[in-house]
Structure 1
């Protein structure tokens, strides 16, 4: 079966080459969109993942948005700071310095707590004073430098950058880690509010009417734009996979119709329809595997030249799983042509 399929494809190189080229382009687009979706998703959650967060507690009025949560010391009285959980204080802001201006997410933390220990430095050191910041390494790529003095917050407070951190993005914004005691000033709220919430490696529960607990999945889905963004990309990828199946089916249907008389002659020579149908299946598998392999190579080559500013992340297991799904779905597209072959009547086709 495979022998006959390969011989036929060699004889009709241009025809089958066009089919492979079209499927390759569709598969390539799927891989690029998957990488973009995964990259954007990571930029929403890299900081949360680095904290090894399993659950979050924040004010019930924040509706799951940690940067909008305001908690007092009384609200936090039931949540002791230990090796498994930490208080965090978030607020968006604009970091300015040396002519540079970038939106950041200020994250106030305590020294040597769960979040502080999760910071992976690429350069510099951790903060030791309240006027020092450890910022996302992406800000170094934007032009900010170690030892630079920057302004941040409602009152344009001065801070000194003492370190750059890997995997420090929250809701797409680069993170600026600072002293939690400076959070109320940066945010511009009363100092009776001391934090935004509590993050923990364990499962937390709400211990008062003023707070609400969220699991990691619930917390991420409440993050502004996160769920809608992922759903949009998922639908786009699913539609492209469906389109690839339709394209394969149409091409194979046309090729099968063009070869009906040839199949009828082979049937009269005693070759069973099952053999001819499986030959079409073999051709489909060869087309899909070749196209997916080419698109994977193409996507990886493109990843080498894409600017670092583009939030794309090529996850090898995800690429392999998506490629396998494309091959399987494309193979299903051969069922209609196989059914046509199974119903061929030599007498009707050839005449007699």
Structure 2
């Protein structure tokens, strides 16, 4: 390791360029990872952050919450289960307009009871229950100039809400979430359907007895199953993850070529080392140590560059870096890069010191 580090310092200009390439490669991988996670959060974070585990949903909805409506009979069956906790949820997509403005902003209403334990933690302001027509919005709406106390109008032009507070990190289907009460939601729907009476789309619970429960014409889904059923989520994530790991492999392949070229440039050096008796194991150890140092330093600086960029990106950009994902990708990148250097070591093992001393070239 010591000799590998000394060589890097001695040929600092050459290895500086290689290090720059390593940093660029890991930065591109982390950037795509952040986009993948960010797009996933933009689709599912509203459900993911709800402090619940099981969702009781009408079987005809095929796991998609906005397509479900629980009948009175199903609600009665759920009540008979005597669950330790239950929460009702409705999801409705719409648009909002800030008072005095014309631009329409997409919103997804999450309808909860006034005393719901699933009310999100607020970053500023108060709960929507502080006003009869209150709404708690995701912080992304701040980028559109909305503040606590502002009035926003629904697309039906007859229902207005007062922004009572903001929360952070709640999105559904690439749309920011707004939390409203069941009473506000009923008033909203009655504009177009005067005979409407509130009925939950799903009932949620953390009660583990639901694992074995059965309800007529209803399904019991876990949180992960509900998230995977959000339209477009699975296809989008699988595609992005595939692109991510293809980029990892491509990056490592490019680095392997560079390390191989560097090895060819040092053929005479390796030939002399072999001639004076240095064992192949020592040469291999030096080469692996050198690649390990270059990849490790590159990964550290690449990760720091990604974190710095994440801190300055606009709030509406779907970019989210997870420490766990960063750790896994960084580790895989270093390990695979080191393994790719074995190709160069195999080339070194075939060098004939006699040929090198005699000035032979391939």
TM exceeding 0.5: yes
User: Structure 1 pair 60/19, CA: closer, same or farther in 2 (3 Å)?
Assistant: same
Q: Which residue of 2 aligns with 1:110?
A: 113
Cα distance in 1 for residues equivalent to 2:156 and 2:280: 77
Note if contact 2:86-2:205 (Cα within 8 Å) is conserved in structure 1. Answer: yes
Any residues of structure 2 matched to 1:187-336 within 5 Å, and which? Answer: 187=189, 191=196, 194-203=199-208, 204=210, 207-336=214-343
Q: Match of 2:78, SS?
A: coil
Cα-to-partner distance string for 1:179-201 (whole Å, 9 max, x where unaligned): 22443554556625611111222
Q: Larger deviation: 198-207 or 33-42?
A: 198-207
| 8 Å Cα contact 2:61/2:68 also seen in 1 | yes
Closer, same or farther in 2 for the Cα pair 1:313/1:242, shift >3 Å?
A: same
Give the match's secondary structure for 2:118.
helix
Cα distance, 1:302 vs. partner?
A: 1.8
Alpha-carbon spacing, 1:348–1:202, altered in 2? closer, same or farther (3 Å): farther
1:17-36 equivalent positions in 2, closer than 5 A? 17-36=16-35
1:87/1:267 Cα in 2 relative to 1: closer, same or farther (>3 Å)? same
Deviation track 1:145-202 (CA, whole Å, cap 9, x = no partner) reads 3333332255742333222223332233222222224435545566256111112223
Pick aligned residue for 1:346 from 336, 344, 353:
353
What is the distance in 2 between the residues matched to 1:297 and 1:51? Answer: 31
Which residue among 134, 138, 141 is the counterpart of 2:140?
A: 138
1:88 is aligned to 89
CA offsets 1:252-279 (integer angstroms, 9 cap, x no match): 2112222223212221111111111111
Q: Distance in 2 between matches of 1:9 and 1:135?
A: 53
Given that 2:23 and 2:298 are in contact with CA atoms closer than 8 Å, whether structure 1 keeps it comes out as: yes
- Aligned residue for 2:264, secondary structure, equals helix
Aligned equivalents of 2:232, 2:140: Cα separation in 1: 21
1:97-121 alpha-carbon deviations (Å, 9 max, x no partner)? 32142111112211212323x4435
Note the alpha carbon deviations across 1:126-159, whole angstroms, 9 max, x for none. 3245432222222233222333333225574233
Q: Name the structure 2 match of 1:161.
A: 163
1:120 — aligned with what?
A: 122
Q: 1-side partners of 2:265 and 2:183: how far apart? A: 76
Q: By how many angstroms is 1:301 displaced?
A: 2.3
Give me the whole-angstrom Cα distance separating, in 1, the residues matched to 2:157 and 2:207: 36
| Contiguous gaps of at least 5 residues in structure 1 | none
Give 3-state SS (helix, strand or coil) of 1:127's partner: helix
Task: Check if 1:72 corresponds to 2:71.
Answer: yes
In the TM superposition, residue 335 of structure 1 has moved relative to its aligned partner by 0.8
Tell me the CA shift for residue 67 of structure 1: 1.6
- CA distance in structure 1 between the partners assigned to 2:336 and 2:158 by the alignment: 56
Q: CA deviation at 1:70?
A: 1.9
Question: Which stretches in structure 2 are left out of the alignment for 5+ residues?
Answer: none
TM-score of the two chains, using structure 1 as the length reference: 0.89
Cα deviation, residue 247, structure 1: 1.7
CA distance in 2, matches of 1:236, 1:202: 38
1:97 counterpart residue number: 98
Number of the residue aligned with 2:185: 183
1:119 to 1:72, Cα distance in 2 relative to 1, 3 A: farther
Deviation at 1:244, TM superposition (A): 2.2
- CA distance in structure 2 between the aligned counterparts of 1:233 and 1:85, rounded to whole angstroms: 35
Q: Find the aligned partners of 2:166 and 2:28 in 1 and give their Cα distance.
A: 34
Q: TM (normalized to structure 2)? A: 0.87
How many residues get paired? 350
